[in-house]
Chains A and B, each alone.
Chain A
Amino acid sequence: MMTKFTTLLAATALVAIAGCAKKPPAQLPPAPSQTGDTGAGTQTGQANDQMTPGSDADFRRSVTSNTVNFGVDQFDIDPTARAILDSQAAWLARYPNVRATIEGHCDERGTREYNLALGDKRANSAKNYLVAKGISPARLTTISYGKERPVALGSDESSYAQNRRAVTVVLN
């Protein structure tokens, strides 16, 4: 997460500079794919959105984290996850028109289909917590990626721990 955060800050800084220059880019970047499955936390948002209140970029900068982690084969929300989700709930309460999807993910030590089911449990655990904190369930959708979209690529405990996660992504 730290690495990603640093990258994000760097990207934001670059965007800020570009924004001052007010020069249109020579070539427009390709439109983000509507059908592609980017999966968790991949930064597909348009550069300009990063400064827009209520955007996913704003969300990621404002909350403790967009990601909560889980124990092995677990889907319960532990105290660390609670604090993170509390910050997410507070932000979502500030922007009542914003919708979000929660992605559930697993480490690679489960079979593919079981992990789809387990990822669904994790996404719903996070969703249910946010709903309990007053966020309308109509604003929240869930999707499970099972083990299809890891963020840490090793076959080791540290990677597994990072990959067992639910990621809240604000839909713009």
Chain B
Amino acid sequence: MRYFGRLLAAAATLVAIPALAQQQPAPAPGQQPAPLEVSVTGGVSEPMPIAIPPMPTAAVVQTPAGSTDALGRQLSDIVANDLKGSGLFTPLSPGRLRAVAFPEVQAPAFDFWGGTGAQALVQGFVRANGDGTLTVGCYLFDVSSRIELTRQGFVVPPSDWRRAGHKCADMVYTRLTGEGPYFDSRIVYVSETGPKAKRIKRLAIMDQDGANHRFLTNGQSIVLTPRFAPNQQSIVYMSYVGKVPAIYVYDIGSGRQRLVAQNVATTFAPRFSPDGRYILFSMATGGNTDIYRVSSQGGAPQRLTTSPGIDTGGSYSPDGSKIVFESDRSGGQQLYVMNADGSNQQRISFGGGRYATPVWSPRGDLIAFTKLGGQFRIGVMNAGGGGEKILTNGWQDEGPSWSPNGRVITFFRSGQGGSGKADLWMVDLTGQVENRIKTPLDGSDPAWGPLRP
């Protein structure tokens, strides 16, 4: 996807009419309008009311993704759903919106929008280009001070049209919150169906909002714990194919799979290093599980832990210098941090109960984990230990994975009893905003991929 920031070169000519005609009342002398921003920290702040009317098109054109006027309606829905899902925005209901004429895109009817209660306004347009691509323009306005805050244009192939909506939502989110973007990203997970005693598990991939869902494996073998490669071109996961539990790399483009470590014992819990050069994994030999790393090109694994207990579930710090992992060397499962070469292993979890599945935030500041007591709950703590905060309260909430901006965590929630059902959820760092991700079947082991380029 190509996109350009401040200037919509192509759009400027087309959306020519009112660019000069924008009438803005000058603020009274000495009176600075308060900057429009959304607080993402602290207590529960009121979500910001935001208007996202359907994006008009200058000319209705049929494209492989649908007609441009229908796409405009769907794109504004994508932006609204993304922003609403963050918990920081309240999009105006459709009944309170008004149709935006194409020439109005850059010159909003501020008098109208001011009366809706919206503090921010997102307008845009859709255009089919002669080369078969689509251009989506995205503009953010401050309604009370009547100024444009930012704009971006996105040129996408029709197959990627939803990404333009996510990119637009990311633009709005980053401009108003100061946080990094995360909506244009994907989740790989394990789709589940069938009776609890014999779940059929398939790798599946989808956009973070559940769209563009695709199964990657056929369910003949148990598959577990997929993780994206940093370049998003492959996925590392564990499979029982041939009744030999081992880790494989799945190439998303070709669908080919290869075994990571040949002729070794049971391997599991794989994760890529942030630079993609290594795969961290656990290996069980003769009843002892330790953490190893191997070049992602293959070769001999290097052992990083040597405790006689269970060491597993490693996760790299974003700079690749450290690894957080779980170990029961002190009795129950607890979290430890070590250098990437295995040296200097230090325990960081000291609260009551057991801690498992640590995952380092992409921002580096926090570690998410599963806390085990009577229930499983998702929590976070500081990377150096301490500052523990529990975010969820399900029967069994397990396996956190961070959004690309380190503000949201996806996990899976298992039901109690005989159904064996599990589904995918997201929770934000306040613990106040929790959404289920809709999937065609049940789901577990979600792993959030990086922001797409």
Residues of A within 8 A of B (CB): 33-39, 42, 73, 75, 108-114, 116-118, 120-121, 123-125, 128, 143-145, 148-151, 153-155
B289 touches A120 (CB 8 A): yes
Q: How far is the CA of A154 from the CA of B268 in the complex (A)?
A: 27
Known: A113-B313, A113-B356, A149-B198. 15 other contacts (CB 8 A): A35-B220, A35-B243, A39-B198, A109-B372, A110-B356, A111-B333, A116-B245, A117-B282, A117-B310, A128-B287, A144-B284, A150-B197, A153-B196, A153-B417, A155-B395
CB within 8 A of B242: which of A35, A39, A73, A128? A35
Interface check B208, CB cutoff 8 A: no
A113 touches B357 (CB 8 A): yes
18 A-B pairs within 8 Å (CB atoms) are namely: A33-B220, A37-B243, A109-B372, A110-B356, A111-B313, A111-B357, A111-B372, A112-B444, A113-B268, A114-B333, A116-B266, A116-B284, A120-B284, A121-B287, A121-B310, A124-B287, A149-B197, A153-B195
Residues of A within 8 A of B418 (CB): 153-155
- Residue on A nearest B333 in the bound complex, by CB: A114
Q: Which of B17-25, B102-110, B221-229, B256-264 contacts A (4 or more CB under 8 A)?
A: B221-229
Q: How far is the CA of A66 from the CA of B370 in the complex (A)?
A: 34
Residues of A within 8 A of B445 (CB): 112
- Minimum distance in angstroms from A38 CB to a CB of chain B: 8
Interface check B389, CB cutoff 8 A: no
Tell me whether A117 and B284 are in contact in the complex, defined as CB-CB below 8 angstroms, given that A144-B245, A144-B266 are known contacts.
Answer: yes
- Minimum distance in angstroms from A139 CB to a CB of chain B: 16
Interface check B193, CB cutoff 8 A: no
- Report how many A-B pairs have Cβ atoms within 8 Å: 111
Tell me whether A111 and B376 are in contact in the complex, defined as CB-CB below 8 angstroms, given that A37-B222, A150-B197 are known contacts.
Answer: yes
B197 touches A111 (CB 8 A): no
B197 touches A153 (CB 8 A): yes
Q: How far is the CA of A28 from the CA of B179 in the complex (A)?
A: 62
Tell me whether A111 and B243 are in contact in the complex, defined as CB-CB below 8 angstroms, given that A36-B221, A143-B266 are known contacts.
Answer: no
B197 touches A108 (CB 8 A): no
CB within 8 A of B420: which of A38, A73, A151, A153? A153
B356 touches A114 (CB 8 A): yes
B243 touches A112 (CB 8 A): no
Q: How far is the CA of A121 from the CA of B198 in the complex (A)?
A: 22
Interface check B440, CB cutoff 8 A: no
Tell me whether A148 and B199 are in contact in the complex, defined as CB-CB below 8 angstroms, given that A113-B357, A114-B356 are known contacts.
Answer: yes
- Minimum distance in angstroms from A124 CB to a CB of chain B: 3
Residues of B within 8 A of A75 (CB): 287
Interface check B326, CB cutoff 8 A: yes
- Residue on B nearest A118 in the bound complex, by CB: B310
Interface check B4, CB cutoff 8 A: no
Interface check B349, CB cutoff 8 A: no
Interface check B312, CB cutoff 8 A: yes
- Minimum distance in angstroms from B323 CB to a CB of chain A: 15
Residues of B within 8 A of A (CB): 195-199, 220-222, 224-225, 240-243, 245, 266, 268-269, 282, 284, 286-289, 310, 312-313, 326, 328, 332-333, 356-357, 370, 372, 376, 395-396, 398-399, 414, 416-418, 420, 444-445
Residues of A within 8 A of B420 (CB): 153
Q: How far is the CA of A118 from the CA of B284 in the complex (A)?
A: 9
B399 touches A112 (CB 8 A): yes
> Among A33, A73, A125, which residue has the most Cβ atoms of chain B within 10 A?
A73
Residues of B within 8 A of A35 (CB): 220-221, 241-243
A113 touches B225 (CB 8 A): yes
B266 touches A37 (CB 8 A): no
- Residue on B nearest A147 in the bound complex, by CB: B414
Residues of B within 8 A of A109 (CB): 372
Tell me whether A124 and B268 are in contact in the complex, defined as CB-CB below 8 angstroms, given that A112-B224, A114-B312, A153-B196 are known contacts.
Answer: no
CB within 8 A of A108: which of B282, B333, B370, B396? B396
Residues of B within 8 A of A151 (CB): 197
Residues of B within 8 A of A73 (CB): 332
Tell me whether A112 and B225 are in contact in the complex, defined as CB-CB below 8 angstroms, given that A121-B287, A125-B287, A153-B420 are known contacts.
Answer: yes
CB within 8 A of A117: which of B198, B225, B286, B312? B312
- Residue on A nearest B370 in the bound complex, by CB: A111
- Minimum distance in angstroms from B181 CB to a CB of chain A: 30
B240 touches A112 (CB 8 A): no
Residues of B within 8 A of A143 (CB): 243, 245, 266
Q: How far is the CA of A40 from the CA of B278 in the complex (A)?
A: 34
- Complex A-B, nearest 3 residue pairs according to Cβ-Cβ distance, in ascending order: A124-B287, A117-B289, A120-B284
Q: How far is the CA of A169 from the CA of B296 in the complex (A)?
A: 35
A120 touches B225 (CB 8 A): no
- Residue on A nearest B332 in the bound complex, by CB: A73
Residues of A within 8 A of B326 (CB): 114
- Residue on B nearest A34 in the bound complex, by CB: B242
- Minimum distance in angstroms from B415 CB to a CB of chain A: 9
B269 touches A113 (CB 8 A): yes
- Residue on B nearest A101 in the bound complex, by CB: B243
Residues of B within 8 A of A37 (CB): 221-222, 240, 243
Residues of B within 8 A of A154 (CB): 417-418
Residues of A within 8 A of B196 (CB): 150, 153
B289 touches A108 (CB 8 A): no
CB within 8 A of B414: which of A38, A108, A110, A144? A108
- Residue on B nearest A40 in the bound complex, by CB: B197
Residues of B within 8 A of A108 (CB): 396, 414
